[in-house]
Amino acid sequence: MLTMWPINVRPEKPNYLFPKYGTLERIVLARPVKEEYTLPKSPEDVFELLSELPEGFAKQFQFGLGLHWENRFICEAVASLPGISILYLHGGGSTFDAKIDPPFFIMGLGRYQELRKEIARASARHQRAAREEKEILAHQWLLHAADKEAFPRKRRKLRPDAIAEMAGVGGAQTKLSKRDRISVVKLVNENAEESQANLAPSYHYISRQICRRSKSAEQQSKQNSYCIWPDCGKRVSIQPAFPQSILSMAKRLLTGRRRFAMPT
């Protein structure tokens, strides 16, 4: 196996020449499947050995070894675990295990490579979003300000599946401000032309979610309620909170009643 002790080599940092990732002191690479690592006997052998490190690793010892800066989140996440001081990478590209075995955190190289690629994609999305925002700012402050009719205001385009990822089914509830809730309603209205056939699965899912909440809602005031399903005869109070208000508004949209009030 190959063991490295990543250190911070920036003299201006308080942890100069100390472990780069805090309590994570070592990164261990299991020996390759085909052949073992060759013990270096010269500086040139060391350079050659480092050049064979997996993609995403720093391959120049002058920078303290470890992972590239953009992949530091991997080591920082492992370092946040109590009692873990060694990251152990093993296997080939088809190995995806992740295991806590103090003082080791064991990770398959396949999982490492996929995580590294996901981090790279996230960085690319951020860069594209920042470039788009800068272009829009320049447009608003210059072209739109000079001639509002010829150059109407622009707004950022919402990336496909962005709302689905933000909602994070099964995760923590997303807190929405009043302005956010109004924007969500506006987005639903703008996409109302999609055929009801394509929305049928969502229609039934939303209906089930609403009916599930209807039992407790029956005890609330009927003044702020309406029939949410023609055959069930139950009524649900409209609340400003997400996601119940969004489910109610989506239900009204999918059943053809596209006019509804903005959340308060």
Residues 108 and 39 in one domain: yes
Residue 15 within a domain: yes
Angle 129-136-174 from CA coordinates, rounded to 5°: 45
Residues 101 and 170 placed together within one structural domain of the fold: no
Per-position pLDDT tens, the chain of length 264 = 899 999 999 999 899 999 999 999 999 999 776 677 788 899 899 999 999 899 999 998 888 999 999 999 999 999 999 999 999 999 876 789 999 999 999 999 999 999 999 999 999 988 988 898 999 999 999 999 999 999 998 887 777 766 666 666 555 666 778 887 787 777 777 666 554 455 555 555 555 555 555 545 455 544 444 444 444 444 444 444 444 555 555 555 555 544 444 444
Number of domains in the chain: 2
The verdict on residue 261 lying in a domain is yes
- Regarding whether 185 and 256 lie in a shared domain, the answer is yes
Region of 170 (left: φ > 0; alpha: ψ -120 to 50; beta: rest) is left
Q: Are residues 237 and 168 in the same domain?
A: yes
The domain in which residue 95 lies consists of 2-117
Same domain, 168 and 108: no
Q: Is residue 38 part of a domain?
A: yes
Clarify whether residues 15 and 104 are in a common domain: yes
Domain's final residue, options 117, 144, 171:
117
Radius of gyration of the chain (CA): 27
Asked if 9 and 101 sit in the same domain, the reply is yes
Same domain, 102 and 179: no
Same domain, 75 and 177: no
Query: Are residues 82 and 176 both part of a single domain?
Result: no
127 domain-assigned: no
Q: Are residues 8 and 113 in the same domain?
A: yes
- Measure CA of the first residue to CA of the last residue in the chain; give whole Å: 61
Q: Tell me, yes or no, whether 142 lies in a domain.
A: no
Q: What is the pLDDT of residue 141?
A: 92
**Is residue 125 one of the residues assigned to a domain?**
no
User: Which among 99, 117, 135 is the end of a domain?
Assistant: 117
pLDDT of residue 171: 57
Q: Say if residue 100 is in the same domain as residue 189.
A: no
Question: Is 90 inside a domain boundary?
Answer: yes
- Considering the domain boundaries, does residue 137 fall inside one? no
82, 117, 152: which is the final residue of a domain? 117
